[in-house]
Structure 1
Amino acid sequence: MPRPRSILGLLTAALLAATVAVAAPSLATTPTAEPDYIISVDPSGAGVSISNSMYGVFFEDINYAADGGLYAELVRNRSFEFLPADNRAYTGLTAWTPGAEGGGAGSASTVNDGARLDDRNRTYLRLQLANSGSGRYGVTNSGYNNGVPVRAGARYDFSVWARTDAADGTPVSVTLHDPAGQPLAAALEISVRNDTWTRYTGTLTASRTADAGRLSVRAGGTGTLRLDMVSLFPQDTYRGRPNGLRKDLAEKIAALRPGFVRFPGGCLVNTNSMNGYDAASNWERARAYQWKDTVGPVETRATNVNFWGYNQSYGLGYFEYFQFAEDIGAMPVPVVPALVTGCGQNRATVDEALLRRHIQDALDLIEFANGPTSSTWGQLRASMGHPAPFNLTHLAVGNEENLPDEFFANFERFRAAIEARYPDVTVISNSGPLSQGATFDRLWDLNRAAGVDMVDEHYYNSPTWFLQNNNRYDSYDRNGPEVFLGEYASQDALLFNSLSEAAYMTGLERNADIVKMASYAPLLANIDNVQWRPDLIWFDNDESWGTTSYQVQKLFMNNVGDRTVPSTVTGAIPEVKPINGPIGLSTWATAAAYDDVKVTTPDGTVLFSDDFSNGAGQWRPLANRGSWSVVDGEYRQTSTSAQDTLVSAGNITASDYDLTLKARKTAGAEGFLIGFGVQDAANYYWWNLGGWNNTQGAVEKAVNGAKTSLITKANRINTGQTYDIRIQVRGVRVSLFLDGELWGSFADDKVVQPFAQVVTRDNATGELIVKVVNAQDTPAVTKIDLGDVKVRNNAQMTVISGDPREQNTRSAQPIQPVTSTVKGMKSTFTRTFAPNSVTFLRIGTK
């Protein structure tokens, strides 16, 4: 029998990991150690087919992923549309600085009047010029990420829309320079000739490299000069596309070889989606991302507030998304709003006309992607340079809605209309924002009952959750909807998180008959503008780097295979420990009062008790946040701004116990949190009542700071009301009582499995791809039996391994794949897999 292995911690011997990683490729003999694991492969078994679109990427404009990121435009606020209505910190001159040179004079202001360039591009820059002699006056743009990056010898295309009332025209000088004013390129001289909007262009060639350049546009003479859509694009975009993509970022995405691209979100899809058109201008600011706003000439596209707190220009629009997907050989998967908001907003439309318009917009989108050039929207696609169809086959409706019945009613309206006109298009539903809970269960019930083709699941959980749930999809109904895992990630950016994801992905492949598509999320993050972590690819002005998860995803996505080969693994089963330890109290942006805290065994023995009559000496702060004190015999936290104010007491060693107390919300946005099994500030369970802006309750389990919801349901906590709380713990089973009524229960009985494997076959090469994840701090001696298959002498092995606490950063990317040749292969062999490693063996067969 395999000898038992201890379950992983997060500490590792980095030297041991490195030694094993280097030594393993040269092992030509079978180690004599008794194996810890045995992998048995049935090469004659049918397995399941793996879709070409098994793995893909999900792009959302979050973390400045589009403007200042994947979209190669170098001018920030190029159309002067950044306004306080979108962000209080914005003005029409955000990122622009007026200034003069050589005796120049004038004034600069942003204007929205009848002289505008376009009804959707409404604000423009007006320069009142009062220059004398050779003086010039104008504006300087600071670009994104604190500068305009340029590379010596590279060419940059400048363009601007302009008009002047000067009878003899207005001379305009365009310069690239560093912050000190020293030139980075020879100046470009333009003459604006008339008082109608005209596009002027030219090229600047950088004379030296800088990552914090500036672009200045300054005019001579007198009179009124109007400017809009000031643009600077590198000619060296991805595939040389005009209005194209930043090359290094696009190349990193393409190197993943994704089977699909999901776009444009995400929360920005359905938030504000009930805002309609303005009757006068056919446009309203601060509404959801809608595809018709993003196509056609860029100067006619809107800018709009982004859900994540900044503006987006829509220069990267639906045409560019479709084109990029085609360029990298991926299937496009657009997402349209269902008129039920998610992401914490929780509103459903009551505007029937607006719903009908959005349904028509979805139909028009399919026509834009697939329609003939004789159709209205197919003709627009052709006019943008792509007469051939984009071959759209999948369309998602909605994203993470928390009102399941309202969402599904609208979804069915969309689905019926789309299937009536385009029966070959798969319409994708979803199951809400979490991996379980009342919303998740209700939406799956509705999707199954209606015979929906595909359901989009989203979840961000702790690495422990991923190591516990490798078999999640084993029990899914093979006659029900297929699964699109549209967003998932382990909650941190360490190698250990990537290993947990890798282990989970072996389960996705084993269940490829039900899980047809999966994408890690989010895709991109600007290191200077972050709204969400973790992310797959990071970047700054002129550099980009893949995280440890990027390296793992790339390894899987480049070595998928065509079918699984049945395989089983035997080895030690880790122990499941009871839930015990200290108890805790906490709040989140809320003031609350607690009293009569008691822990007793089932026979009534008191293990802990505190009525705060003698102060709060038994309690110790773990988070060092909030304002805790005893007032009138209650333990109160009085700050309504502090988050995660966890304090703990006692040390419950019993496996069976009841925690009881009284809790009262006194002010603030949410409810209160009751902790149990509290090991420290990063490892605990807590019952979160009135969470998520007082809309939901949940039990969350934190492991090394990453939280997973074990149970969720709708919940609201009333200010001033005293609640009786009881948490009943029986080993790993927990029942929760609110005012004497059973609120919910769960069992945290899933085993953490640090060792995972799957085997697939590459039909083109005839290779078996043995994929092994060892997410623990010790080597895994493993016997692999490939059955009666005859194998070739040499195999290719790729290993990703290292310190599980390590991550890839701008300054260093230590976690990289190492590929080598393994000689002397046999159909049965033993290999030692390095601690904290992912190993792929491509084994040729005869």
Structure 2
Amino acid sequence: MSRSRPRLGLACVLVLSGTLLAVPSAAAGAPAVASTDYTVDVDATDTGPTIDDNMYGVFYEDINRAADGGLYAELVQNRSFEYDPADNAAYTGMTAWAPTAPDGARGTAAVVDDAGRLNERNRRYLRLNLPAGGGGYGVINAGYNSGIRVERQRDYDFSVWARTDATAGTPLTVRITDPAGTALATPLRITLRGDGWTKYTGRFRATGSSTTGRLAVTGAGGGSVGLDMVSLFPRDTFKGRPNGMRRDLAEKIAALRPGFLRFPGGCLVNTGSHYGYTAPNWERQRSYQWKDTVGPVEERATNANFWGYNQSYGIGYYEYFQFAEDIGAMALPVVPAMVTGCGQNRATDDPELLRRHIQDTLDLIEFANGPASSQWGSLRARMGHPEPFGLTHLGVGNEENLPDAFFERFRQFRTAIEAAHPEITVVSNSGPDDAGGTFDRLWELNRAAGVEMVDEHYYNSPEWFLQNNERYDAYDRAGPKVFLGEYASQDNRFYNALTEAAYMTGLERNADIVKLASYAPLLANEDYVQWRPDMIWFNNHASWGSASYEVQKLFMTNVGDEVVPSRASGTPTTTVPITGAIGLSTWATSAAYDDVTVTSADGTTLLRDDFSAGASNWTHSSGRGSWSIVDGSYVQSDAAAEDTMVTAGDPGWRDYDLRVTATKRSGQEGFLVAFGVQGTGNHYWWNLGGWGNTTSAVEKATGGAKQQMISKPGTIETGRAYDLRVQVRGRQVTLFLDGQEWGSFTDDKVAEPFRQVVTRDRATGELVLKVVNAQAAEARTRIDLGTQIRVSSTAQVTTLQGGPDDVNTASFTPIQPRTSRLTGVRNTFSHTFPAYSVTFIRIGATERTTP
């Protein structure tokens, strides 16, 4: 996922900015309308593409605190005192810790980095100077979210690396309490002996329950104590693994029955892209390095996370491979290509650094697949897995914005991997979007080089998913296969999940092209959100699946083995012109606008503004940025503000020409000129010099969610006045830059709300009819299975149904599957699919034999 992509809001409305849509339909929350009639014709004895067992999987990235404080079951935050303001300005070595003295004793606590450290990768530790006498002094940890979750009668494993300079030893007391100090378990008593680092362990049986628990460690008797790797783990991890996964989250992932697990990112792979590949910061703030994440946890490095926090690497490559095996998924790791992605634009020019990363990748394959007698296979064996993990696929790179630089380095990775490990499928990628110059160039390079599989990523509006069901119909069947590694509709409401479900019918229909697909992101801690939407949400004591989770689970557990050809009638359509007011905006840039004119197609002037009389025609609709008249121009002067839209004109305007002079004054990008404005989050805009001043594109926003209509590489110069003209005619838009046609598009795709696909489950002999009805109207449907099969008279029906605005939360999950039996099934029968629903009907079917 691209870090530079703007955060987006609600997305549930179809009829905006003159959208071409299938009708009847309604905005989110509107009352239902009359039924619409459809037909579904199934060639029940014919066979379409085979669906691979691992087609649907999950993509795990440590975003939204998905690892520490999430899937990783460790309950102590900042257990090794390595938090640092270099990782997050709010951090110190004592983040999540506070001094404590239950008896009022006095001492000192300080995080130090000296020659007495635990090891070279775990550099910092806590030094306690203890008071003489009987009073205890130490520190207390607040965990994640509101505290540490403790459940009565559950066991918890404590461990700490410690040392003491007290010759008689130091008594250490470890307590689990609530915030008021009330005990939630019988305290542990440990005696530290010796000035060498030693691991001490103990176990609690909780006597009380709390979601705001604390872990306190205190010492007494004078002298100095060193503490590091202070850990508290629930004994009840997923499958009982030590250093394992939080059970409820892991079980929700396992319940999807994923065919593969992609990890560790995503943009996390490109950590170096955020901090740079230069030598001064390479050792601390570098791209994700798998070798930092294996071996004993106390010897693993910590690192700055791309998403703005510190990561412990408690979940490392061994744990990823083990988790994939535990949930029956194919492991699919992704390694950095040494070219930045996720909104950055740099590539390493250090051949030795590139060579080392290629060798590291070969070593990773040996770690996964090598015999226990090999160098890296022996490490895997020592960690507890003598048998190889059986790695078959590996991705190189993620969302690179420099296609030629990426592919030059990708070739070197691929050549080395295929020479040493021809059994490995090396996966390339196509950049951060579904279209545009980077996408086109990378696909050109991938096709020419005969790459086996290409990873596509996109996060688009619900409308886009309804409009692009046929996206993969036209892909070259002889070209590279598609790994749809990241996709989602830009919100977590049921309507978004419905449009994703509609799109997934097209993925299955094209299972010969789309070999792997995973929604993203997988996890989000509700108190630490860097990105939304997300599939599974959680806090420190509860977890719940989003509406998209329920859709994904329904598809992933009812895939089938092969596509059965089928056809459905469409929804009647209506065409309306693009209508709306105009707007001016900026993104992390200061810009000046002047000489705005809007003229209708017949030459009538609708608006003329040279700002000589002020800016009374304009409404500062976004409230962001600082707009004022400066030297006769309308200037947005805040070079840090994003999405600063001001608007003018009539939402009913149609068939007009917008002309404006725009000048970049300072900042990271160019300028944004909007048209077809129907209100906040509903417009088109020409984004010139976007994406770090690398690309210009027209984006369409519907309910705040965006999709690209046309895109080209391009930069905007500071201080230069640009003459911009936008011509709107019906649904055709033509754009002119300095008098020359820059590009054009016709927004004429239909947002079809009724989609279906049929697959065959060979094990059960059933046809699985999957129907999505993403509209306010019921879909009264005649289903024709042909005459060449015998069908069971009853069928199992699983339905997801709700209001388009419904959102699953910790306390209320309205989107849940309901199972029923359908009677009266025949070779031809009728069924009404509810408004706003996903329905799977499993029909027993056998082919008729000729006498």
- TM-score bracket for this pair, using the shorter chain length: over 0.9
Query: Using the alignment, how far apart are the partners of 2:36 and 2:178 within structure 1?
Result: 62
Q: SS state of the match for residue 173, structure 2?
A: strand
User: 1:278 deviation in Å?
Assistant: 8.1
User: 1:85 deviation in Å?
Assistant: 2.1
Query: Using the alignment, how far apart are the partners of 1:374 and 1:406 within structure 2?
Result: 37
Query: Using the alignment, how far apart are the partners of 1:534 and 1:793 within structure 2?
Result: 40
Match of 1:11 among 11, 14, 28: 28
| Structural RMSD (CA) | 1.9
Query: Using the alignment, how far apart are the partners of 1:74 and 1:44 within structure 2?
Result: 55
Query: Using the alignment, how far apart are the partners of 1:713 and 1:422 within structure 2?
Result: 38
Counterpart in 2 of 1:373? 372
Query: Using the alignment, how far apart are the partners of 1:83 and 1:170 within structure 2?
Result: 29
Counterpart in 2 of 1:834? 834
Counterpart in 2 of 1:472? 471
Instruction: State yes or no: 1:327 paired with 2:326.
Output: yes
Query: Using the alignment, how far apart are the partners of 1:298 and 1:11 within structure 2?
Result: 49
Instruction: State yes or no: 1:112 paired with 2:140.
Output: no
CA contact (8 A) 1:106 1:131 kept: no
Counterpart in 1 of 2:96? 95
CA contact (8 A) 1:35 1:783 kept: no
CA contact (8 A) 1:175 1:216 kept: yes
Q: Tell which deviates more after alignment, 658-667 or 162-171.
A: 658-667
The one-letter code matched in structure 2 to 1:111 is V
Instruction: State yes or no: 1:178 paired with 2:178.
Output: yes
Q: Tell which deviates more after alignment, 137-146 or 429-438.
A: 137-146
Instruction: State yes or no: 1:128 paired with 2:129.
Output: yes
Query: Using the alignment, how far apart are the partners of 1:312 and 1:669 within structure 2?
Result: 29
CA contact (8 A) 2:176 2:183 kept: yes
The aligned runs of 1:172-571 (5 Å cut-off) are: 172-272=172-272, 284-571=283-570
CA contact (8 A) 2:24 2:777 kept: no
The one-letter code matched in structure 1 to 2:49 is V
CA contact (8 A) 2:22 2:753 kept: no
Query: Using the alignment, how far apart are the partners of 1:61 and 1:837 within structure 2?
Result: 32
CA contact (8 A) 1:624 1:645 kept: yes
Query: Using the alignment, how far apart are the partners of 1:192 and 1:55 within structure 2?
Result: 51
Query: Using the alignment, how far apart are the partners of 1:809 and 1:109 within structure 2?
Result: 41
Q: Tell which deviates more after alignment, 707-716 or 825-834.
A: 707-716
User: 1:86 deviation in Å?
Assistant: 1.7
Structure 1 pair 620–85 and aligned structure 2 pair: CA distance change class (3 A): closer
Q: Tell which deviates more after alignment, 571-580 or 380-389.
A: 571-580
Q: Tell which deviates more after alignment, 734-743 or 246-255.
A: 734-743
CA contact (8 A) 1:271 1:345 kept: no
Query: Using the alignment, how far apart are the partners of 1:284 and 1:186 within structure 2?
Result: 43
Q: Deviations over 1:668-719 (max 9, x none)?
A: 3322110011111121000111222333222110001111122223332223
Q: Tell which deviates more after alignment, 193-202 or 80-89.
A: 80-89
Query: Using the alignment, how far apart are the partners of 1:406 and 1:774 within structure 2?
Result: 44
Q: SS state of the match for residue 122, structure 2?
A: coil
CA contact (8 A) 1:13 1:803 kept: no
Structure 1 pair 175–277 and aligned structure 2 pair: CA distance change class (3 A): farther
Query: Using the alignment, how far apart are the partners of 1:12 and 1:688 within structure 2?
Result: 31
Query: Using the alignment, how far apart are the partners of 1:293 and 1:609 within structure 2?
Result: 62
User: 1:150 deviation in Å?
Assistant: 0.5
Q: Deviations over 1:719-738 (max 9, x none)?
A: 32211001122322222222
Counterpart in 1 of 2:790? 790
Structure 1 pair 540–576 and aligned structure 2 pair: CA distance change class (3 A): same
The aligned runs of 1:654-803 (5 Å cut-off) are: 656-788=655-787, 789-803=789-803
Query: Using the alignment, how far apart are the partners of 1:573 and 1:831 within structure 2?
Result: 19
User: 1:601 deviation in Å?
Assistant: 4.2
Q: Tell which deviates more after alignment, 343-352 or 466-475.
A: 343-352
Q: Deviations over 1:622-645 (max 9, x none)?
A: 223333333443222233343222
CA contact (8 A) 2:699 2:706 kept: yes
Q: Tell which deviates more after alignment, 567-576 or 246-255.
A: 567-576
Query: Using the alignment, how far apart are the partners of 2:198 and 2:707 within structure 1?
Result: 55
The one-letter code matched in structure 1 to 2:154 is A
The aligned runs of 1:71-90 (5 Å cut-off) are: 71-90=72-91
Q: SS state of the match for residue 158, structure 1?
A: strand
CA contact (8 A) 2:521 2:533 kept: yes
Query: Using the alignment, how far apart are the partners of 1:353 and 1:322 within structure 2?
Result: 28
Query: Using the alignment, how far apart are the partners of 2:624 and 2:127 within structure 1?
Result: 49
Query: Using the alignment, how far apart are the partners of 2:24 and 2:350 within structure 1?
Result: 55
CA contact (8 A) 1:276 1:354 kept: no
Query: Using the alignment, how far apart are the partners of 1:692 and 1:46 within structure 2?
Result: 44
User: 1:44 deviation in Å?
Assistant: 1.6
Query: Using the alignment, how far apart are the partners of 1:13 and 1:533 within structure 2?
Result: 25
Query: Using the alignment, how far apart are the partners of 1:626 and 1:276 within structure 2?
Result: 33
Q: SS state of the match for residue 535, structure 1?
A: coil
Query: Using the alignment, how far apart are the partners of 2:675 and 2:253 within structure 1?
Result: 43
Q: SS state of the match for residue 355, structure 1?
A: helix
User: 1:222 deviation in Å?
Assistant: 1.3
CA contact (8 A) 1:710 1:746 kept: yes
User: 1:43 deviation in Å?
Assistant: 1.0
Query: Using the alignment, how far apart are the partners of 1:187 and 1:625 within structure 2?
Result: 53
Instruction: Count matched residues.
Output: 824
The one-letter code matched in structure 1 to 2:184 is L
User: 1:277 deviation in Å?
Assistant: 11
The aligned runs of 1:61-72 (5 Å cut-off) are: 61-72=62-73
Q: Tell which deviates more after alignment, 654-663 or 237-246.
A: 654-663
Query: Using the alignment, how far apart are the partners of 1:710 and 1:625 within structure 2?
Result: 25
User: 1:654 deviation in Å?
Assistant: 6.4
User: 1:775 deviation in Å?
Assistant: 0.4
Query: Using the alignment, how far apart are the partners of 1:405 and 1:398 within structure 2?
Result: 13
CA contact (8 A) 1:574 1:752 kept: no
User: 1:301 deviation in Å?
Assistant: 0.3
CA contact (8 A) 1:104 1:220 kept: no
For structure 1, the residue ranges without an aligned partner over 5 or more in a row are 18-32
Query: Using the alignment, how far apart are the partners of 1:842 and 1:554 within structure 2?
Result: 16
Q: Tell which deviates more after alignment, 642-651 or 373-382.
A: 642-651
User: 1:489 deviation in Å?
Assistant: 0.2
Structure 1 pair 396–820 and aligned structure 2 pair: CA distance change class (3 A): same
Query: Using the alignment, how far apart are the partners of 2:567 and 2:259 within structure 1?
Result: 28
Share of identical aligned residues, percent? Answer: 65
The one-letter code matched in structure 1 to 2:565 is P
User: 1:768 deviation in Å?
Assistant: 0.3
Counterpart in 2 of 1:811? 811
Query: Using the alignment, how far apart are the partners of 2:29 and 2:86 within structure 1?
Result: 51
User: 1:656 deviation in Å?
Assistant: 3.6
Q: Deviations over 1:348-395 (max 9, x none)?
A: 010000000000011111100010001001000000000111110000
CA contact (8 A) 2:262 2:334 kept: yes
Counterpart in 1 of 2:61? 60
CA contact (8 A) 1:164 1:223 kept: yes
The one-letter code matched in structure 2 to 1:726 is R
Query: Using the alignment, how far apart are the partners of 1:11 and 1:652 within structure 2?
Result: 20
User: 1:816 deviation in Å?
Assistant: 0.8
Structure 1 pair 521–556 and aligned structure 2 pair: CA distance change class (3 A): same
User: 1:424 deviation in Å?
Assistant: 1.0
Counterpart in 2 of 1:154? 154
CA contact (8 A) 1:657 1:730 kept: yes
For structure 2, the residue ranges without an aligned partner over 5 or more in a row are 1-20, 847-851
Query: Using the alignment, how far apart are the partners of 2:35 and 2:87 within structure 1?
Result: 65
User: 1:652 deviation in Å?
Assistant: 7.0
CA contact (8 A) 2:147 2:214 kept: yes
The one-letter code matched in structure 2 to 1:355 is L
User: 1:283 deviation in Å?
Assistant: 8.1
CA contact (8 A) 2:626 2:638 kept: yes
Query: Using the alignment, how far apart are the partners of 1:602 and 1:609 within structure 2?
Result: 15
Query: Using the alignment, how far apart are the partners of 1:592 and 1:829 within structure 2?
Result: 62
Query: Using the alignment, how far apart are the partners of 1:150 and 1:223 within structure 2?
Result: 32
Query: Using the alignment, how far apart are the partners of 1:254 and 1:481 within structure 2?
Result: 29
